[in-house]
Amino acid sequence: MIFNNRQQEIGDRIEEELKISKWKDWRWQLRHSVRTLEKFEQLTGISFDTNEKEDLRRTFDKFPLSITPYYLSLIDQDNFRNDPVFKQSFGGIEELTTLKSELADPLSEDSDSPVEGITHRYPDRVLFHVSNICSMYCRHCTRKRKVGDSDFVPSREQLRKGIEYIKNTPQVRDVLLSGGDPFMLPDEKIDWLLSEVSKIPHVEIIRIGTRMPVVLPYRITNELVSILKKYQPLWINTHFNHPNEITTSAKEALAKLADGGFPLGNQSVLLADVNDCPRIMKNLLHKLVQNRVRPYYLYQCDLSEGLSHFRTPIGKGIEIMESLVGHTSGFARPTYVIDAPGGGGKIPVMPNYILSWSANKVVLRNYEGVITTYEEPSKYEPKFCDRDCTNCNLDLKLNEVDESRAIGVEKLLSDNNDTISLIPEDNERIARREEDAG
Ligand SMILES: *Cc1c(COP(=O)(O)O)cnc(C)c1O
């Protein structure tokens, strides 16, 4: 039974004696998304006083509102101010407070964009923004600057620019379709886009990032799954933040995708007063793995405009990781990451497990606080590696691998590169040397 009393109640307020078949039609859900305060009040039976309404209107003028009837139905009307779904979908005046360190585009996605729609940050993979709309506007969206900008579905011509860039950039082996939500595109366009991208010889895998299983699970139709199946290997990442979001409808959507053969991952964002609690987080992770979803990332909340009230200290994330490592299944544990402001990419963060070192021993601690030692091998000969794999006795089939060049800190460790330090461009000491020399 998917159509519960609350859903029937909300459905009937939209259309008299609404049939379940309509409620489960994703296009019907989109047509009836809640985009105004009045509609929110009318459908939920929740009401706000005049002052608060004024604040809310100002908020929605800057950051628009949009909630699917399905996601709306998950809000507990009797305790809505503490409800995690309410907090993620319905804003408040606190969104208009911006600190100096909070930016419209904290990850510099626009600066790392070689062509419209593409963010190329890492050597071998790109983010391809294929839609700029979502079925629900998350209040914690890191791309809040773009939400509601212009609700349009990009044309094939616009998407072609991104496809051309990928075609002309042979190092790209992994394409991550994101947005907005790629599943906002009609089936035919998804089919066309996936066929274009998967035709590119150097693209090994495609990933799709979508929040549909959470906010509009009816979008995962059998027709969609049969289209996606043509483009394996296809990885799908979704975005559950709280165990309350794992409903019967969400489970059905996840089961369709898992049965379709797609590896499923989940990216959560650590949000103050929503999921900044080890018990809530563990409960979420356990529900995810029960539904064949592998927790992938736990994100530290970005420094985006309007997100101050959602941010926690990094220490909260480390505390949560401490409560997971050893305490639960390894595959139920996400990697906690901070997306570096300025575009440095994701930086993984963990509690410290290495306590000390000597020439032949490492001292470690486990999750119970047991302190242990690992004795290093006495006979490990460091091998000189000049990256000429033809002369190496390790077995690597050379025709199957790419020629990778060491960059960054990896370069400092490599034998065939004589870089001994990485120095910031504006280092004053080095500038002085150059002046003295000059
Ligand atoms: C997160 C992200 C990716 C993918 O990173 P993975 O760690 O491989 O999941 C790629 N490009 C950009 C710009 C990203 O933010």
pLDDT in tens, 381-420: 888 888 888 888 888 877 777 667 788 999 999 888 889 9
Residue whose tokens read 């969400």? 250
pTM over the 0.75 mark:
yes
Task: Assign residue 407 a region (left: φ > 0; alpha: ψ between -120 and 50; beta: otherwise).
Answer: beta
pLDDT of residue 176: 98
Residues comprising the chain, all counted: 438
**In terms of pLDDT, which residue wins out, 107 or 187?**
187
Which band of pLDDT confidence, cut at 50, 70 and 90, is reported for residue 149?
low
Q: Are 24 and 73 in contact (CB under 8 A)?
A: no
pLDDT of residue 150: 62
Q: What is the mean pLDDT of residues 247-255?
A: 98
Q: Are 358 and 312 in contact (CB under 8 A)?
A: no
Q: Which of 87, 138, 165, 191 is catalytic?
A: 138
Q: Counting atoms of ligand 1 from 1, which one is nearest the CA of 125?
A: 10
Taking every pair of Cα atoms in the chain, the longest distance, rounded to a whole number of angstroms, is 84
**Per CATH, domain 118-348 is 3.20.20.70:** yes
Average model confidence (pLDDT) across the chain? 93
Q: Counting atoms of ligand 1 from 1, which one is nearest the CA of 109?
A: 13
- C-alpha of residue 139 to centroid of ligand 1, in Å: 21
- Answer whether residue 63 shows pLDDT above 80: yes
Reported as a single tens digit per residue, the pLDDT across 178-193 is 988 999 999 999 999 9
Ligand 1 first shell, C-beta below 6 A: 119, 121-122, 125, 127, 176, 346
Which band of pLDDT confidence, cut at 50, 70 and 90, is reported for residue 1?
very low
Q: Where are the domains of the chain?
A: 5-93, 118-348, 351-381, 389-437
Which band of pLDDT confidence, cut at 50, 70 and 90, is reported for residue 2?
low
Q: Counting atoms of ligand 1 from 1, which one is nearest the CA of 121?
A: 13
Site to probe by mutation for ligand 1, drawn from 110, 111, 127 as the one with most ligand atoms within 8 Å of Cβ, is 127
| Backbone phi, psi, residue 298, to 5° | -115, 115
Cα–Cα nearest to 280, from 228, 256, 305, 245: 245
**In terms of pLDDT, which residue wins out, 434 or 47?**
47
Cα–Cα nearest to 73, from 253, 245, 218: 245
Q: What is the mean pLDDT of residues 235-250?
A: 98
